[in-house]
C-alpha cells in the first residue's frame, strides 16, 4: 500500500521546482542546519554560504513559494523545512546527541534515510496520546512499539499551501487500527490511506531518501523508481 493517488510529495515539488545551483545550495544548507537542531535564519545562512543576505532572502522566498520550506512573517526565519519543524510537534526525532521535531509521522520516518543515520523516534497516538517508540536505521525499522502502530495519510483534496499547515498535522501515528478509525470518524477524515508502520517507513524513505543525496544519485534513484 502506497500513498493516496494524486498526492504531491516534497520530492515531487523539488523535482518540479528546477532549482538553480544557488537555490539548491541554500536548500541543502537549510536541511543540514535543521539536522543539527540549530535555528535557521537568514543571517546564519548568509554567513555560511557566502551568498549576500539580499540574495538569500530572495532564494528563501522562492523555496517557500515552491513549498519546500515555510518562513515566518519577516521572511528571515525558516519555521519548517520538510521533514523538520522548528516549532515543537508530537514527533520527536532523537539523533545521537540532539533532538529535532518532524512535521508529521511520515516525515519523522524519512529522517534516517535522508541523513543516513540511525534514529529513535518518540511520538504518540493521535487519538489517545499513548506513546509510540520507533528505532530505525537508514534502510529499515529495527524496533517499534506498540506493534499494532498505524499511520494515517490523508488524500490531497484539502491541500493548500503550505502543506506543513494543511496536510501534515493529520499525518499521525495511532496505537491501534481501532484508535485510528475512531479518530477518523470523530474528525471527519474521509479519504486517505491507513499504512502499517513498515509501509509508512517505505513512504518516508521514498520521499526523503534522496533529498540530500548528490544530484547524480538522485537521478539514478528516480530512474530505478520509475522502472519498477
Ligand atoms: Zn491510541
204 three-state secondary structure:
helix
Rounded to the nearest angstrom, the distance between the alpha carbon of 126 and the centre of ligand 1 is 7
Instruction: Return all residues near 147 (Cβ < 8 A) that are at least 6 apart.
Output: none
Rounded to the nearest angstrom, the distance between the alpha carbon of 128 and the centre of ligand 1 is 4
For residue 217, what pLDDT is reported?
59
Residue extent(s) of CATH 1.10.10.10 domains in the chain: 10-82
Rounded to the nearest angstrom, the distance between the alpha carbon of 183 and the centre of ligand 1 is 9
For residue 225, what pLDDT is reported?
44
Rounded to the nearest angstrom, the distance between the alpha carbon of 28 and the centre of ligand 1 is 36
| Fold of the CATH domain 85-215 | Beta-Lactamase (3.30.450)
Taking a C-beta distance cutoff of 8 angstroms, is the pair 129, 136 a contact?
no
Rounded to the nearest angstrom, the distance between the alpha carbon of 117 and the centre of ligand 1 is 28
For residue 78, what pLDDT is reported?
97
Q: How far apart are CA 213 and CA 228, in angstroms?
A: 20
Mean pLDDT of 174-187: 95
Q: Give me the CATH code for the 10-82 domain, please.
A: 1.10.10.10
Rounded to the nearest angstrom, the distance between the alpha carbon of 131 and the centre of ligand 1 is 8
Taking a C-beta distance cutoff of 8 angstroms, is the pair 34, 84 a contact?
yes
For residue 218, what pLDDT is reported?
59
Residue extent(s) of CATH 3.30.450.410 domains in the chain: 85-215
Plot region of 151 (φ>0 → left; ψ -120 to 50 → alpha; else → beta): beta
Amino acid at each position: 500500500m502506497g500513498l493516496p493517488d494524486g498526492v504531491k510529495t516534497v520530492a515531487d515539488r523539488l523535482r518540479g521546482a528546477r532549482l538553480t545551483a544557488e537555490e539548491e545550495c541554500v536548500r541543502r544548507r537549510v536541511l543540514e542546519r535543521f539536522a543539527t537542531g540549530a535555528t535557521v535564519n537568514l543571517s546564519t545562512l548568509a554567513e555560511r554560504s557566502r551568498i549576500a543576505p539580499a540574495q538569500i532572502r530572495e532564494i528563501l522566498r522562492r523555496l517557500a513559494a515552491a513549498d519546500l520550506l515555510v518562513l515566518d512573517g519577516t521572511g528571515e526565519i525558516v519555521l519548517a523545512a520538510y521533514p523538520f519543524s522548528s516549532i515543537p510537534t508530537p514527533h520527536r526525532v532523537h539523533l545521537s546527541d540532539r533532538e529535532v521535531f518532524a512535521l508529521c509521522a511520515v516525515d519523522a520516518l524519512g529522517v534516517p534515510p535522508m541523513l543516513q543515520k540511525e534514529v529513535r523516534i518518540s511520538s504518540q497516538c493521535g487519538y489517545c496520546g499513548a506513546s509510540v517508540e520507533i528505532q530505525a536505521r537508514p534502510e529499515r525499522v529495527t524496533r517499534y512499539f506498540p506493534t499494532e502502530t498505524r499511520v494515517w495519510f490523508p488524500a490531497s483534496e484539502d491541500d493548500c499551501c503550505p502543506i506543513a499547515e494543511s496536510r501534515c498535522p493529520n499525518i499521525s501515528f495511532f496505537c491501534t487500527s481501532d484508535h485510528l478509525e475512531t479518530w477518523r470518524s470523530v474528525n471527519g477524515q474521509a479519504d486517505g490511506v491507513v499504512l502499517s508502520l513498515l509501509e509508512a517507513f517505505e513512504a518516508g524513505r521514498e520521499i526523503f531518501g534522496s533529498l540530500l543525496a548528490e544530484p547524480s544519485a538522485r537521478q539514478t534513484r528516480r530512474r530505478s523508481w520509475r522502472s519498477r
